[in-house]
Structure 1
Amino acid sequence: MKAYRWFFLATVLIALSIPASARHLPDFVDLAEQYSPAVVNISTSRERPAVEGGGGGAPDIPEGMPFGDLLERFFGERGQPGLPERFERGSMGSGFIYTEDGYILTNHHVIENGGEIVVRLSDRRVFTAELIGSDPQSDVAVLKIDADELPTLKLGSSESLKVGEWVLAIGSPFGFDHSVTAGIVSAKGRSLPSDNYVPFIQTDVAINPGNSGGPLFNMDGEVVGINSQIYSRTGGFMGLSFAIPIDMAVEVARQLRETGTVTRGWLGVLIQEVTRELADSFGMSRPTGALVAQVQPDSPAEKAGFRTGDVILRFNGIDVPRSSALPPIVGRTPVGSEVDVDVRRGDEEIVIGVTIEALPEEVASARSRTPAPPVQPQSLLGMQVEPLTEEERSALGLGESGIRVIEVTDNPARAAGVRSGDVIAQFGGDPVTSVDDFREQVEAASAGRSVPVLIHRDGNPVFIALRIPNS
């Protein structure tokens, strides 16, 4: 009996020592039951021309073909020749109702291929939806079905979402309606190469094809994101899922409903990451901000006096820790706003006032990208250069500057990532106007120090940091 008491006491002590968060794991039952009715399955259907000798829902199966009966049962009965064929492309994705009169949020890529949009509710009602508007840059689309008093979801705030917080997804992976998966927020403000204007929420919630467009919930049952993408090398879930913040999605939806288009702020600079070597070459204590590799002509940045080589540290009071943070900040800035931008130029920090304009359609369509960082540099020189003709400089928009690298001969330049064909436009912030000018600039540079060099490679401006070798 004494041994039993000790065992009971030890069990109680162990239970009390377990953190409360571990003793009380989240219960998703109520969330799934309450909010699944407002999550919809979205597919598309369209007609395709009749194929001579075939039609209907199946391929033309010759009489007497082995397994012909089995193929007919799989594909459906043989169609009637000469009739157009209506077919459904299957479950394309998910969406959710956010107004009682039938407005639905989903992804642009779910409905981008056109055709009739079919929406299925949990009560098995089927509607043909009207496309109100779609925005490829944010991957958000708004649909409308003709119905009233529909179940809806409560929209929350993605800004208040915390890393490590539990989240829940409901969708139609592989066509399995109203599947529920859960996980935690892994990171916020993620930038993906093809989506410069979306600061994605990264989670480890299991998301698969068909989940796209479905809601991401917090534990209060509020929608905090729209599930949009996964990172995968196999096509299946690998633990990295990305959702569009609901704050951004709601603003995009508002503009689509009011005007049919989305307007974004535009600064007009091509930027790249500040590497450790570049930070050292600029005299910065640590790599931060967005490095301006090019100021676009007739842009707000050009009008405000931005220069190539400026490092944008803060935009309208918001810190820019990495280059990928800048496009979403600028994009959600109202057109016509006058904002202050903190910039490092040379050895000092200055403030530039700029009036934000609307992102031009041709720029939005091109999805201008941040230049890829060059190979990590280590040293300098070991290259042969030649002058450019006036026509070549004019074609590159370099004015009076620019020399071409014709050969990389040994390790210093090669280790720095310099390539044959690169055009050197600036060295240490100063224009390179000739081969002799470049030689003098190199000789005047301090040994053992990194120098920022602006090159043009395949038409793209990119900064690299070249370290002057010790003599």
Structure 2
Amino acid sequence: MLRPIFFLQYLLLTILLLLTSLSVQARALPDFTQLVEEAAPAVVNISTTQTVQRRSARGLAPPGEIPEIFRHFFGEMPEGQTPFPEQQQKRQSLGSGFIISEDGYILTNNHVVENADEVIVRLSDRRELIAEVIGTDTSSDMALLKVDAKGLPVVKIGNSDALKVGEWVLAIGSPFGFDHSVTAGIVSAKGRALPNETYVPFIQTDVAINPGNSGGPLFNLKGEVVGINSQIYTRSGGFMGLSFAIPMQVALDVADQLKEQGRVSRGWLGVAIQDVSRDLAESFGLDKPQGALIANVDPQGAGARGGIKTGDIILEVNKQAIDSSSDLPPAVGRIRPGEKARFLILRDGKHRTLHVAVGERPDEPRVSRTEQPAAEPASVDRLGLRVEILPAALKERWSVESGVHVVEARRDGAAALAGIRQGDVLVSLGGESIKTPAQFATLVQKLPANQSVALRLVRRGNSQFIAVRIPE
């Protein structure tokens, strides 16, 4: 008779422990209600209007050039006229932003207001104000707006550098026009480099971000803005778990410059860089792949004036570690032009410190060209390559001072297996400049077997290093 009683007590105790555990877990989850109440009033909805020209036949013809079939029907028209009258259409878009000063300065994304004829900001109290675009910066996708108002609610600014992976974050914005929608998640990664986004080390989160969230704030649990929601990775057009925000420290620097001078100045070295692979790390004497490898140096750039050379590996900038090549542009970009920065580099297997006065990034990179002497006949080497003298036309087109031209890369050869192709220009091998086919053959012959050696080449005008493992 006692056994069922003991079993029932055991069962009740187990249920009680389970409920207690669930209660503890529930209490451990963050409560965002107070954060939203305090922060939401400073978040705004941004709508823009852009006028576009469009030709139409009774409103049905698509924009652009007149289709060829209509040319036959209407014949030749007088110059400057078309069979379709031009019509003006209003194109509208939505985004988000947030107020950073009581007198009406607002931060958002550049792509939210780009080419807009009119920008309207809707506040949390439903007021709508016309905004002036103070300045934009396409490189960071940032825009600074100003509305004519006083005593506005403002966000608290946080330190994005102090964010930790796994930390809770929250977004407020207007996805698909639904004002003040709140979504939450965690920081997935920091310092993410995205294609064509050179100067922003993005914060990656799993916060649900959709069209309309762009330009809205990303908050930490203290209610401080630590980022500006900017991009998502998607194959469907909607949220897929990968969202990217501009760090607030980057945004503040851009905002200050836009407010002061209407444009953004960034530090610039005038170098081409690439990642250090495992084989390249071995060839340069590194214990592991790290740093930014200098593939080319503009002779007129700040890097060249400061002593940086092709083949150097930059390991630190002002004591900030450069783990991969994508870390270098934002690190240099944050330095004001004219300021000196400390660069720790690896050259010829030895660590060196350079103090380089950083230049200002030009609108378009400068290209230097030099005249080239012509050289001699082709040769075959142990790497499976057949090379010839560098044609004068390639020297001029690609600004190469010396090297040899690859006319054949045997499929099973060590060079082809490393990625060298027909048409490449080989510029240096193991840190030594290549001048003629004969000299190149001598260099190759002296290389020790079963070791990786760094070979610098130019392919369609772009310089890069490739590690080649020397065969027996």
- Shorter-chain TM-score: which interval? 0.7 to 0.9
Whole-angstrom distance in 1 between the partners of 2:178 and 2:243: 19
TM-score (norm 1): 0.86
Contact 2:418–2:468 (8 Å) recurs in 1: yes
2:53–2:89 contact (8 Å) kept in structure 1: no
Q: Secondary structure at the match of 2:364?
A: helix
The 3 A distance-change label for structure 1 pair 112 and 168 is: same
Distance across 2 between alignment mates of 1:380 and 1:229: 48
* Aligned-partner SS, 2:160: coil
The equivalent residue for 2:302 is: 300
Q: Find the counterpart in structure 2 of residue 411 from structure 1.
A: 412
Q: Indicate the SS of the match to 1:30.
A: helix
Question: Whole-Å Cα distance in 2 between the matches of residues 234 and 277 of structure 1?
Answer: 38
**1:57-456 superposed matches below 5 A:** 87=90, 89-91=92-94, 93-363=95-365, 381-399=383-401, 401-412=402-413, 413-456=415-458
- How far off its partner does 1:53 sit? 8.5
| 1:29 matched residue in structure 2 | 33
| Preserved contact between residue 380 and residue 416 of structure 1 (Cα < 8 Å) | no
Partner Cα distance (2:87, 2:395) in 1: 58
What amino acid does structure 1 have at the position aligned with 2:123? L
| Stretch of structure 1 that moved more, 407-416 or 293-302 | 407-416
> Any runs of at least 4 consecutive aligned residues in structure 1 with deviations exceeding 3 A, and if so which?
1-23, 46-55, 82-88, 389-392
SS at match of 1:284: coil
- C-alpha offsets along residues 108-136 of structure 1, whole Å, 9 cap, x if unaligned? 11111221111112222111110000011
Report if aligned partners of 2:275, 2:324 keep a CA contact under 8 Å in 1: yes
In the TM superposition, residue 362 of structure 1 has moved relative to its aligned partner by: 2.1
2:279 and 2:452 in contact (8 A); partners too: yes
Instruction: Note the C-alpha offset of 1:235.
Output: 1.5
Cα displacement string for residues 274-313 of structure 1 (whole angstroms, at most 9, x for unaligned residues): 0001111112111000000001121111112211111111
Change (3 A) 1:88 1:440: closer
Contact 2:397 2:461 in 1 (8 A): no
Cα deviation code 1:145-165 (max 9, x no counterpart): 111222221111101111100
Q: Is the 8 A contact 1:106 1:213 kept in 2?
A: yes
Shift of 1:194: 1.0
Residue type matched to 1:327 in 2?
Answer: P
Equivalent pairs, count: 431
Q: Please report how far the alpha carbon of residue 54 of structure 1 lies from its aligned counterpart in structure 2 after TM superposition.
A: 6.8
Judge conservation of contact 2:100–2:106 (CA < 8 Å) in 1: yes
Aligned to 2:372: none
The Cα of 1:258 is off from its aligned counterpart by: 0.9
Q: Secondary structure at the match of 1:447?
A: coil
- How far has the Cα of 1:208 moved from its partner? 0.9
CA distance in 1, matches of 2:382, 2:225: 53
Cα deviation code 1:391-419 (max 9, x no counterpart): 533443332x2111112223123211111
- Any idea what SS the aligned residue of 1:239 has? coil
Sequence identity (%): 51
1:101 is paired with a residue whose SS is: coil
Deviation at 1:242, TM superposition (A): 0.4
Q: Do 1:383 and 1:410's aligned partners in 2 also have CA atoms closer than 8 Å?
A: no
Contact 2:93 2:112 in 1 (8 A): no
Structure 2 residue matching 1:205: 3-state secondary structure: coil
Shift of 1:336: 2.1
Aligned 8 A contact 1:213 1:228 in 2: yes
Q: Which deviates further from its counterpart, 443-452 or 347-356?
A: 347-356
Show CA shifts across 1:30-61 (max 9, x none). 22233222211112124456978979xx99xx
Say whether residues 1:43 and 2:47 are aligned partners: yes
Tell me, in whole angstroms, the C-alpha distance in 2 between the residues paired with 1:53 and 1:392.
51
Give the conservation status (yes or no) of the 8 Å contact 1:43–1:88.
no
- Whole-angstrom distance in 2 between the partners of 1:49 and 1:298: 43
C-alpha change, 1:403 and 1:333, in structure 2 (3 Å) is same
Residue 361 of structure 1 aligns to a residue in which SS?
coil
Q: Using the alignment, how far apart are the partners of 1:468 and 1:49 within structure 2?
A: 61
Q: 1 CA distance for matches of 2:86 and 2:275? A: 57
Query: 1:48 and 1:286 mapped to 2: Cα distance?
Result: 53
- Cα RMSD, aligned residues only: 2.6
- Do the aligned partners of residues 21 and 335 (structure 1) sit closer, same or farther apart at CA in structure 2, a change above 3 Å counting? farther
Report Cα offsets for 1:348-368 as digits up to 9, x if no partner.
11112211122222249xxxx
Name the CA distance, whole Å, in 1 between partners of 2:257 and 2:305. Answer: 28
Per-residue CA deviations over 1:416-438 (Å, capped at 9, x if unaligned) read 11111000000111011111111
